């Protein structure tokens, strides 16, 4: 199989690298974090102008017609610079759920403004004690006149603190349903959450929030559940790609530090034992790159077993490789590595968040072990 990027994919990677270097250095993230601002609306709109927000959507929905590989290229580049814009939350999770379950009119109403960078979406699916299981939400949707009344709680809504609309999963008499809810609408209590990585999230409580029937995405039941589960797998693969960018940046920063930091009159990178540890970091990053690539190629696979196997293997690898690279980077930087003033600590925290996002290492190892054809040792 040819894994060489196409000319268009290479151009996309170069464009993202140039963009983050000029418009989104890590210092920008620091300033936004200090100001309590989740992201910069001007940068989000610029991403829309560049066409990045349209990448995974079909042309008939106003998109570019790309796929998970192109999404991975963008997120790897954004991960290298810790860009805080909610690409994974708004485009990959909520955007794809809306695109795949919604109608043409719903695409025009809510997806098009997001693609243009004029609004932000978020997917509210996780619940307290849910442990990554999206199939049986406790948040309920009951008929009320010609609409639906939604009641219940969602936790850790990625990008939810800045979203204009929320795609909410709920249990109905016919099975799982997906509904679009205005983030500041009546009966909606949204509480911003501080997260370890500084990117933020939200807790959502709905107390009989009434939505009209035209805010229901598709028909409740197995089809809506299948859309949600597939989107969550796409999101997990995307998290691996962003984690790869974070890991690569930590490796590059650590190698540069080993070349610059001197001890006993020589660069510490000349010590063989430290060279060996840097090589071990490089190997783990390359293994993660291979696994992330596999997950991106199969994240939208119609074969559920094949898709889940590839995504869970990659997400589990992100857990082990991300942890190893992060720990080595912190230790090789010495005392400055544990300070908030040094950028390496920011990357470490983002890696911790990505490792738990959409299923941690233990969850994906268990899911992998439960698939047909798995042979335990």
Residue ranges per structural domain of the chain:
7-120, 123-218, 223-369
pLDDT for the residue 298: 94
Q: How many whole angstroms separate alpha carbon 124 and alpha carbon 181? A: 10
pLDDT for the residue 377: 47
CATH topology of domain 223-369: Butyryl-CoA Dehydrogenase, subunit A; domain 3 (1.20.140)
Q: Is 182 helix (H, G, I), strand (E, B) or coil?
A: strand
* Nearest partner of 299 among 60, 38, 56, judged by Cα: 56
Give yes or no for a contact between 5 and 66, defined as CB atoms under 8 angstroms apart. Answer: no
Q: Which of the listed CATH numbers 2.30.31.70, 2.40.110.10, 3.30.530.20, 1.10.3720.10 matches domain 123-218?
A: 2.40.110.10
pLDDT for the residue 86: 96
Give yes or no for a contact between 188 and 182, defined as CB atoms under 8 angstroms apart. Answer: yes
Averages of pLDDT over each 10 residues, the chain, 377 residues = 81 94 92 92 95 94 91 97 96 97 96 97 95 94 94 96 97 96 95 93 96 95 96 98 98 94 84 93 96 95 93 97 96 86 93 96 94 67
pTM of the predicted structure, to 2 decimals: 0.94
Q: How many helices (H) and strands (E) does the chain have?
A: 12, 10
pLDDT for the residue 266: 87
pLDDT for the residue 26: 92
Q: How many whole angstroms separate alpha carbon 314 and alpha carbon 113? A: 32
Q: How many whole angstroms separate alpha carbon 253 and alpha carbon 99? A: 38
Class of domain 7-120: mainly alpha
pLDDT for the residue 2: 63
pLDDT for the residue 376: 57
Distances 73 to 156, 217, 315 between C-alpha atoms, Å: 25, 29, 17
pLDDT for the residue 216: 97
């Amino acid at each position: 199989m040819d894994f060489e990027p196409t000319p268009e994919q290479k151009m996309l990677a170069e464009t993202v690298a140039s963009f983050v270097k000029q418009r989104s250095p890590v210092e920008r993230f620091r300033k936004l974090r200090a100001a309590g601002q989740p992201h910069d609306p001007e940068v989000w709109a610029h991403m829309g102008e560049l066409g990045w927000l349209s990448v995974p959507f079909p042309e008939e929905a106003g998109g570019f017609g790309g796929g998970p590989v192109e999404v991975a290229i963008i997120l790897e580049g954004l991960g290298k610079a810790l860009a805080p814009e909610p690409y994974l939350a708004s485009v990959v999770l909520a955007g794809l759920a809306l695109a795949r379950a919604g109608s043409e009119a719903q695409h025009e109403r809510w997806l098009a403004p997001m693609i243009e960078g004029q609004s932000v979406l978020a997917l509210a699916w996780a619940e307290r004690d849910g442990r990554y299981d999206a199939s049986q939400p406790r948040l309920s949707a009951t008929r009320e006149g010609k609409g639906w009344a939604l009641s219940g709680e969602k936790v850790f809504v990625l990008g939810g603190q800045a979203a204009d609309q929320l795609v909410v999963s709920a249990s109905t008499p016919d099975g799982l349903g997906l509904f679009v809810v205005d983030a500041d609408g009546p009966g909606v209590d949204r509480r911003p959450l501080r997260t370890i990585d500084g990117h933020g999230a939200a807790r959502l409580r709905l107390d009989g929030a009434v939505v009209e029937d035209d805010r229901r995405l598709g028909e409740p039941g197995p089809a809506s559940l299948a859309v949600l589960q597939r989107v969550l797998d796409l999101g997990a693969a995307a998290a691996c790609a962003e984690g790869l960018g974070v890991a690569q940046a930590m490796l590059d920063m650590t190698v540069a530090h080993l070349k610059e930091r001197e001890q006993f009159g020589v660069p510490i990178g000349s010590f063989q034992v430290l060279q060996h540890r840097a090589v071990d970091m490089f190997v783990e990053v390359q293994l993660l790159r291979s696994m992330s690539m596999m997950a991106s190629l199969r994240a939208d696979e119609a074969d559920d077993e094949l898709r889940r196997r590839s995504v869970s293997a990659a997400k589990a690898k992100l857990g082990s490789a991300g942890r190893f690279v992060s720990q080595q980077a912190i230790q090789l930087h010495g005392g400055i590595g544990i300070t908030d003033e040094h950028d390496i600590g920011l990357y470490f925290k983002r890696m911790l968040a990505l490792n738990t996002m959409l299923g941690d290492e233990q969850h994906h190892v268990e899911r992998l072990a439960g698939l047909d054809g798995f042979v335990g040792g």
